[in-house]
Amino acid sequence: MTKEERAKIYQALSAPFAENCVERTSGQVTGKGYSTTGIKYQHVVNRLNEVLGVGGWRTERTISVKEVTTSRGRPAFEAICAIKIELGEWQDGKFVTFADAVGDGGHLSISEADARKGAFTNSLKKAAAFFGCGRQAYEGSIDDDNAPNDEPIDYPPTQRAADALKARSAPKPQARNSKTPPQPNERESPKTAPQEPPPRRRLTSDQLAAIWKIVEVRGWPKSHFRDRVKAEYGVAVEFLTSEQASRLLEIVNGNGHDHQAGARQS
């Protein structure tokens, strides 16, 4: 195989994935303390099959499992998988390798089967990234937030931004000297116990798909749309509540009373 042929294979394997192939998890949901963004396992496998052909790659894996106890005292299983992916073709009944890569992955679950499965999929995705397949998850380029735009877009001011500006320009009340005792007609407001915040209901997959479909149809740059949603709601698109997503859909469809959250075309 020539160098040019290898370059074409790498280019095909490392092509960006569609939005529906991206998987995002919140650290608040998983309990890991951090959020992750990656490519779904099956889409990585599909890419390998589409580019190399069925039988054009194979894996060797070693999985070790041990019983552990979670921080909450529950029994669980921790699996670690070491994997090797080989790219090649069959010649005279033998698999001839032209490239290989190794990767390690782990997973913790209360089910041993799920722990094994999670460790395998994690290690496979890491090894496949050596060939460029899903590398965007590890280089931080799945979202185009850092990609510069050729032409700046004139966004209309949002209601939230207008309210913030009004609050900053309003005169601030003068602070009372802490040494001055309160006047007889001034009463201290009773202290109340902090209330638990209401549970958040995340947007559905259908709502997320509908939002990105509108962005695609209207030709809005995704990175700028993300910035506007983050400025308006304080969270990324994927972590909107169901109610916020419904409101956003009304706005981008032109049915809301607020300014658009997307880009205004010239």
Report the Cα–Cα distance between both ends of the chain, in Å, rounded.
50
- For the segment 137-156, what is each residue's pLDDT rounded down to a tens digit? 887 766 543 333 333 334 34
- For the segment 200-238, what is each residue's pLDDT rounded down to a tens digit? 577 787 788 888 888 888 888 877 888 888 888 888 888
- For the segment 14-23, what is each residue's pLDDT rounded down to a tens digit? 898 888 888 8
Which residues, listed in sequence order, are joined to residue 182 by a DSSP beta bridge? none
Q: Which of these three, 92, 120, 139, is where a domain ends? A: 139
- Of residues 158 and 87, more confidence is placed in 87
Nearest 5°: phi and psi at 59?
A: -130, 150
User: 195 lies in a domain?
Assistant: no
Give the structural domain span for 14: 3-139
Rounded to whole angstroms, the Cα distance separating 92 from 15 reads 32
Closest to 87 measured CA to CA, from 117, 119, 114, 48: 48
Q: Which of these three, 139, 159, 189, is where a domain ends? A: 139
- For the segment 37-83, what is each residue's pLDDT rounded down to a tens digit? 788 899 999 999 999 999 999 999 999 999 999 888 889 999 999 99
Closest to 45 measured CA to CA, from 78, 17, 82: 17
Rounded to whole angstroms, the Cα distance separating 131 from 87 reads 9
User: Could you give the number of structural domains in the chain?
Assistant: 2
Q: Which of these three, 92, 114, 139, is where a domain ends? A: 139
- Of residues 170 and 160, more confidence is placed in 170
Instruction: Tell me if residue 58 falls in helix, strand or coil.
Output: strand
Please indicate, yes or no, whether residues 222 and 133 belong to a single structural domain of this protein: no
Rounded to whole angstroms, the Cα distance separating 140 from 151 reads 23
* Residue 90 token pair: 């069959």
- For the segment 71-105, what is each residue's pLDDT rounded down to a tens digit? 888 899 999 999 999 999 999 999 999 999 999 99
- Sequence-separated (6 or more) residues with CB below 8 Å from residue 74: 110
